[in-house]
Amino acid sequence: MCTGARRARRPRRPAHTPTVLSARALELALGPRAHRPGRRRQASWKQWPSADPSLNAPLCHRRGPGKQSPSDCGPQAHTTMTAQSLSNCLWAVARLEMRGCEVEVFTQRCVHAVCVAESPDIKEFSPQGLTNTLWAIAKMSGGFTSEEINVHSLCSSVILEARPRLAEFQPQELSMLAWAVAKMRGRGPSAGRGRGGGHVSPLHGRFGDAVSLAEDFLVELAEMAHRRLPELAPQGVSNIAWALATANLYSRHSNCQAGGPVGFLLAAATAAEQALAEYPPQAVANLLWAVARLPGGASSGEASQVASRFAAAAAREATTRIEEFGWQDLSGILVALGQGRYRSPAADCLVVAVVDRAASCARKLTMQVLLNVALSAARLGVPIWCLQPLVDEIASEVQSRPQKLNSMDLRQWAEVQQAFWRLGTLGGVASPGSPQRLPLPR
């Protein structure tokens, strides 16, 4: 037997598989190595090759014997990372869309480190660090199961620190801040639920002061964005406009058209009217949705004139590039046009084209998209002969998949039938030679 023979080496496992990447992220942020002297920067996301979502491997941690929950771990062993490393880690975890008990433990410790232990101090964060931290918390907050993670305290701390330093933030960072604050605040006057009846905002309930702070911050951010409007990218403009509309700030500041949220939106819509070719579909839809939230709609005044011109330009752009627009964006544009009653030749062309396309592929679309398109088209007064095929397809889908309909779908379906019936009885025009077939309203 040859004693000098070398043993064959086992092949090394890939160093950066999705699972290893995700586990390494939390190991660096939570493990004992992150607390050793001289190793504080190991938890930075720069240790990982990429934080691209394609590398995502969600950590669905299963509770079992010996497993830790957020309450088990507690914040007592808070992280000693630098401000930059902490914000980078939070950003990477949110960007990877990681979920599980470990993520909640990590987030809880970050909140405790900044808000309680002041290590790192919130004043040590750069504008980019503040932005990444708030964006990450807003993106992850909907998936938390533990009530012990008081994300409102970290959100308020970031806002208080960013407020006097808004001039230091880059245009993209202003956009990310606006999105994050609006996401944390919630939608509408009560801001309890989102578009799809989502979770209650972390800033509501017993945190009324945090809501007021968030709204005041958004107003100041809108004024800063107004002054720096030429620096903002199209997506940034639409994100800020969407955030202000989500927080219902246009109606609350409708008398301040020269500045504030309304002033920003009017300037943004005027500037975008001639540059919509540079806007991605989602940005067009979000900006139009925000414009439709202006008080008074298309009734009178300078604001309504700007809104009407922009609505016609958005409809014209969507018709020209209709192949680039997804159904979520197309239905969103129609909803905005219908809510504001923005009638124009360009809007009529877009509505007819979208209704025809929706009727031809109704089985591939969600019920929410079908109902939004039909109800908006009825509000805009499309001809009966154009809307009838889509209503028939929706009726067929309602019968074929009743178990998939929720109460909101049923309520909207009743509204579609009533609106369609009114459209026919109040003078809807049928195509030559085709009979009018009206469904009876329920």
> 3-55, pLDDT tens digit by residue?
555 555 544 444 444 334 444 544 544 444 433 443 333 333 344 334 333 33
Highest mean pLDDT among 211-220, 349-358, 383-392, 429-438: 349-358
241, with CB counted inside 10 A (0-12, 13-18, 19+), is: buried
CA-to-CA distance for 115 and 109, rounded, in angstroms? Answer: 10
pLDDT one-digit tens code per residue, 426-437: 444 444 344 344
Distance CA 376, CA 378 (A): 5
What's the predicted TM-score (pTM) here?
Answer: 0.75
- Cβ atoms of 244 and 264 within 8 Å: the answer is yes
Q: 136-145, 157-166, 252-261 — which is least confidently predicted?
A: 252-261
**Highest-confidence segment of 174-188, 368-382, 407-421:** 368-382
Q: Determine contact, residues 194/150, Cβ cutoff 8 Å.
A: no
pLDDT of residue 319 exceeding 90, the answer is yes
State the chain's mean pLDDT as an integer: 75
Res. 258 pLDDT band, cuts 50 70 90: low
Q: Does the structure show a pLDDT above 70 at 91?
A: yes
Candidate ranges 41-55, 173-187, 265-279, 409-423; pick with highest mean pLDDT: 265-279
**Other beta carbons within 10 Å of 201:** 25
Length of the chain: 442
Which pLDDT does position 409 carry in this prediction?
Answer: 85
Q: Which residues contact 372 (CB under 8 A, 6 or more apart)?
A: 331, 332, 334, 335, 412
Residues 6+ apart with CB under 8 A from 287: 237, 238, 241, 242, 268, 269, 272, 279, 310, 314
Q: How far apart are CA 141 and CA 134, in angstroms?
A: 10
CB 135 within 8 A of CB 172: no
Residue 244: what pLDDT?
Answer: 93
Residue 6 confidence (pLDDT): 53
pLDDT of residue 8: 53
Asked if pLDDT for residue 235 goes beyond 90, the answer is yes
301 and 256 Cβ atoms separated by less than 8 Å = no
